[in-house]
């Protein structure tokens, strides 16, 4: 396990480049209106990130398997009063991402008229192969800005689990003050409201068979530099 007070990813202090074509940035309520009016459908592969409509990456078999393994491992240890959800929207200030896994306060019936918000979440998890750079930069920035206390990246490329804690917003560049990475055989503690509820090994949330992560990234990646830089 390695520990660092320097969080991963690039520092995005520079402003977004001015686009050459007209574009729109949307508020969360405008995004919801587009869904209600049928402009966007539930199956459209986009999510709202910092006001932009960003294409979601396709799910390859290792990503799907790791999502299921992570959900199963967390469901085995969470206490009453919480539940695990997968690939469903959460509503933040200027974003509505769809994390691969979340631990949510309460019961599904508590969210019949809204999506969970940052204060409802104990943990947000992204499963990363082709999305690793985005998850370490754009997604990390969004979750830190929202004050989500614990953010995990299940890193399928390097076969490790990255844990980000202590969100902070300094000089308009939200990030996490603490970072730790855990290798396959190492135990990772799971916390809810700063209290440990159990632990799991990284091996439990990674697929067991070998595969070429580099080839998967080349196959499934798409450019998003205009958005995240």
pLDDT digits (tens, 9 = 90+) for 105-139: 999 999 999 999 999 999 999 999 999 999 999 99
- pLDDT tens-digit readout, 198-217: 999 999 999 764 444 444 44
**Total domains present in the chain:** 1
88 Cβ neighbours under 8 A, 6+ residues apart? 98, 102, 115
Q: Which residue has the tokens 């480049």?
A: 17
196/145 Cα distance (integer angstroms): 24
Look at residues 90, 44, 87 and name the one whose alpha carbon lies nearest to residue 66: 87
Beta bridge partners of 226: none
Task: Mark the ranges of the chain whose per-residue pLDDT is less than 50.
Answer: 7, 10-14, 209-227, 229
pTM of the model: 0.82
Nearest to 26 by CA among 49, 45, 42: 49
Q: What's the confidence (pLDDT) of residue 21?
A: 62
The helix (run of H) or strand (run of E) holding residue 154 is strand 150-155
Supply the CATH number for residue 195's domain.
Answer: 3.90.1570.10
In angstroms, the Cα distances linking 153 to 11, 63, 142, 219 are 18, 12, 14, 20
Q: What is the pLDDT of residue 1?
A: 72
Task: State the residue range of the domain holding 177.
Answer: 2-228
* Contact indicator for 62, 156 with CB cutoff of 8 Å: yes
């Amino acid at each position: 396990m390695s520990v660092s007070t320097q969080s991963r990813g690039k520092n995005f202090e520079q402003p977004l480049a001015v686009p050459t074509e007209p574009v729109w940035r949307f508020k969360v309520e405008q995004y919801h209106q587009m869904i209600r009016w049928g402009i966007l459908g539930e199956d459209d592969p986009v999510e709202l990130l910092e006001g932009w409509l960003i294409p979601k990456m396709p799910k390859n078999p290792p990503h799907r398997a790791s999502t299921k393994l992570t959900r199963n491992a967390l469901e085995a240890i969470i206490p009453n009063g919480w539940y695990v959800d997968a690939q469903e929207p959460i509503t933040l200030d200027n974003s509505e991402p769809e994390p691969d896994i979340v631990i949510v306060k309460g019961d599904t019936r508590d969210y019949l008229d809204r999506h969970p918000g940052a204060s409802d979440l104990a943990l947000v998890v992204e499963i990363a192969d082709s999305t690793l750079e985005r998850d370490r930069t754009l997604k990390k920035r969004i979750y830190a800005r929202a004050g989500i206390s614990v953010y995990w990246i299940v890193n399928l490329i390097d076969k490790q689990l990255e844990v980000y804690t202590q969100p902070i917003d300094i000089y308009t560049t939200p990030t996490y003050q603490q970072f730790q990475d855990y290798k396959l055989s190492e135990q990772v503690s799971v916390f809810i409201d700063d209290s440990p509820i159990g632990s799991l090994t990284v091996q439990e949330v990674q697929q067991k068979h070998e595969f070429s992560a580099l080839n998967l990234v080349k196959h499934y990646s798409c450019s998003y530099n205009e958005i995240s830089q």
